[in-house]
């Protein structure tokens, strides 16, 4: 992420154009397979299915928090990803995340808590009713989506472990296992991927412990089996495939800030007024749309979260 600028090739192409390119690639792949021994050449898993796929989750209610906007297609949400554990191209996660084994999976919750826990995903799913939350999703790279996530407020989990009075931050760590996550063999980032929230940010009802997408379990490329989604922050704050949550007293160092401290602040709040050192954050391109649109302060969630930052220098709101 530190190395790229908003990619003009991707950013200017309509998703339709991208699909056409992919379809053409698939057709060539299919022709290639026919030309050799049938079945001997695996087709590239470039294009995902058009319609939601995977195990259906029991969703108790649906909450639209994207102002009635149409959700980005399943296909775009599951094939245009950032997940550097599987490579740095947008198409890499969908093509390569098959090596991740999201079950069985244990989440360790420890640090400054009275009741440290190790929880299986199945038990996490039972902690609270699952909701569909339609959120805007904004990457630092100036693309955005509207995503129907499935999960429940992270606060529900935090309450169970009873943080001590010393707990001021919660740290999220992605699984560290280069056998499952081959991208960890190269040093693009400081592994395991580490992100963190201040305690009040973690407890805000918008912060979603996320297990699904479009009513289905999370595809690997979107962070199976468990990720966090903080809709008023840039996407990088939402760690995927979380194996450990740790409560700590001092502000931890996080992966992107370690790599490029001048480019990624701790807060990562969406702020159109503060440019990234190498590009403007004033506008964004919604996947599926041609024209750029204005980026909203706090990604449109200011009414819910601006109060968390009262007294903080507005220039720090990124
Ligand atoms: N473990 C891990 N989590 C990650 C990333 C990553 O590379 N590794 N990329 C982040 C970035 S930069 C973004 S924009 C979002 C993308 O989420 P999505 O692919 O589900 O849209 O995931 C975030 N979480
Ligand atoms: Mo991102």
Beta pairing, strands 61-64 & 131-138: parallel
Instruction: Kindly give the distance from the C-alpha atom of residue 235 to the centroid of ligand 1, in angstroms, as a whole number.
Output: 6
pLDDT at 47: 59
Instruction: Kindly give the distance from the C-alpha atom of residue 130 to the centroid of ligand 1, in angstroms, as a whole number.
Output: 22
pLDDT at 315: 75
Provide CB contacts within 8 A for 53, sequence distance 6+: 74, 216, 219
10 Å Cβ neighbour count for 160? 13
Six-digit token string for 276: 């990234």
Give CA–CA dist 267/272, Å, rounded: 14
pLDDT at 314: 73
Identify the CA nearest to 207 among candidates 140, 305, 119, 112: 305
H-helix or E-strand spanning residue 268: none
- List pLDDT tens digits, range 211-226: 999 999 999 999 999 9
DSSP SS3 for 115: coil
Tell me which residues have their CB closer than 6 angstroms to ligand 1: 1, 81-85, 137, 139, 174, 193, 222, 235-236, 238-241
Instruction: Kindly give the distance from the C-alpha atom of residue 123 to the centroid of ligand 1, in angstroms, as a whole number.
Output: 24
Residues of the chain with pLDDT under 50: 2-45
Beta pairing, strands 106-111 & 242-248: parallel
Q: Running DSSP on this structure, what letter comes out for residue 237?
A: G
DSSP line for 201-232 = HHHSTT-EEEEEETTEEPPGGGTTT-EEE-TT
Instruction: Kindly give the distance from the C-alpha atom of residue 236 to the centroid of ligand 1, in angstroms, as a whole number.
Output: 5
> Domain extents for the chain?
11-309
pLDDT at 262: 85
- List pLDDT tens digits, range 98-116: 999 999 999 999 999 999 9
**Ligand 1 pocket: which of 144, 190, 222, 240 to mutate (most atoms within 8 A of CB):** 240
Question: Could you say which architecture CATH assigns to the domain 11-309?
Answer: Alpha-Beta Complex (3.90)
- List pLDDT tens digits, range 61-101: 999 999 999 999 999 999 999 999 999 999 999 999 999 99
Give how far Cα 10 sits from Cα of 141, 179, 299, Å.
Answer: 11, 30, 22
DSSP SS3 for 185: helix
Give how far Cα 233 sits from Cα of 91, 99, 196, 217, Å.
Answer: 23, 29, 12, 23
Contact 119, 282 (CB under 8 A): no
DSSP line for 188-209 = TS-SSPEEEEEHHHHHSTT-EE
Contact 192, 175 (CB under 8 A): yes
Contact 112, 250 (CB under 8 A): no
Identify the CA nearest to 211 among candidates 138, 146, 128, 139: 128
Residues with CB under 5 A from ligand 2 (ion): 82, 139-140, 235-236
Identify the CA nearest to 278 among candidates 289, 262, 255: 262
């Amino acid at each position: 992420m530190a190395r790229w600028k908003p990619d003009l090739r991707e950013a200017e192409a309509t998703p339709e154009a991208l699909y056409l390119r992919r379809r053409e690639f698939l057709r060539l792949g299919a022709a290639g397979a026919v030309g050799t021994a049938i079945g001997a050449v695996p087709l590239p898993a470039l294009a995902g299915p058009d319609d939601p796929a995977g195990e259906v989750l029991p969703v108790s209610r649906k909450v639209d928090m994207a102002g009635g906007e149409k959700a980005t297609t399943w296909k775009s949400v599951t094939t245009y990803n950032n997940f550097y554990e599987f490579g740095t191209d947008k198409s890499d996660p969908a093509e390569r995340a098959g090596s991740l084994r999201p079950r069985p999976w244990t989440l360790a919750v420890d640090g400054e808590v009275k009741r440290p826990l190790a929880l299986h995903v199945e038990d996490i799913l039972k902690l609270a009713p699952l909701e569909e939350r339609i959120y805007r999703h904004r990457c630092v790279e100036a693309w955005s989506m509207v995503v129907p996530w499935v999960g429940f407020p992270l606060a529900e989990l935090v309450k169970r472990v009873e943080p001590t009075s010393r707990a001021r931050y919660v740290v999220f760590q992605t699984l560290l296992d280069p056998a499952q996550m081959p991208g960890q063999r190269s040093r693009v980032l400081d592994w395991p991927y580490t992100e963190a929230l201040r305690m009040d940010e973690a407890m805000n009802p918008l912060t979603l412990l996320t297990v699904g997408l479009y009513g289905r379990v999370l595809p690997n490329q979107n962070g199976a089996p468990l990720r966090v989604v903080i809709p008023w922050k840039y996407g990088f704050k939402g760690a995927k495939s979380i194996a450990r949550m740790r409560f700590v007293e001092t502000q931890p160092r996080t992966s992107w800030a370690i790599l490029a401290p001048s480019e990624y602040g701790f807060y990562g709040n969406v702020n159109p007024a503060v440019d990234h050192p190498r590009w403007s954050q004033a506008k964004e391109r919604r996947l599926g749309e041609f024209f750029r649109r204005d980026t909203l302060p706090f990604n449109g969630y200011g009414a819910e979260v601006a109060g968390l930052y009262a007294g903080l220098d507005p220039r720090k709101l990124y």
